[in-house]
Amino acid sequence: MSLQDLRAKMPDYAKDTKLNLGKIMDEDGVDGLSLKQGYMIALASACATRQPVVMTAIHEEVKSHLEKAEITAAKAAASIMAMNNVYYRFVHLASDKDFASMPAHLRMNVIGNPGVDKIDFELMSLAVSSINGCGMCIDAHVNEAVKAGISKQGIQSAVRIASVLVATAQAVMIDEGICCSE
């Protein structure tokens, strides 16, 4: 399924999501970022939604614009952040602050060597961490993005892409009767 097919499939109650979905995949929707960064963020975010229709449509849309290493990095960001967001959200929310001083004992080598520019991986990780709701990870990725010179507008764009793809996945699931039926 293409992005155009996905947009056409969007139900009337998700008109705003449909309009936003069209905007995040062009130059106007990635203020402060390159379009290529937007594509990588969109793919990582689509993977993080866990919604097969959304993942397929976004992959089809971006695959001709991204190199194999960039596609792999987007998948890696979604995968490693799935683990890190659970662990560090626990550390952040646990009443017992001793957990914060304990070593994680989790392999995270891809963060240090993602196969793409470090800032691109940080932006993908920020988007996925926003989807997964890990404040500790969000703060860490925002800090790295700011240090690398990404504007607040660019950071907002990364999170906006993630939010639109979550809304898209939600609409698809509702429409498929996964969330509710008529």
Place of tokens 């970022």: 33
pLDDT of residue 66 exceeding 70, the answer is yes
Q: Work out the pLDDT band at 177, boundaries 50, 70, 90.
A: confident
Domains of the chain and CATH, by start: 3-175 (1.20.1290.10)
What is the C-alpha separation between 73 and 81, in angstroms, rounded?
Answer: 12
Closest C-alpha among 28, 53, 4, 36 to residue 170: 53
- pTM beyond 0.75, yes or no: yes
Q: Which residues are catalytic?
A: 134, 137
Q: Is 109 exposed, middle or buried (0-12, 13-18, 19+ CB in 10 A)?
A: exposed
117-152 pLDDT, tens per residue? 999 999 999 999 999 999 999 999 999 999 999 999
What is the C-alpha separation between 164 and 172, in angstroms, rounded?
Answer: 12
pLDDT of residue 96 exceeding 90, the answer is yes
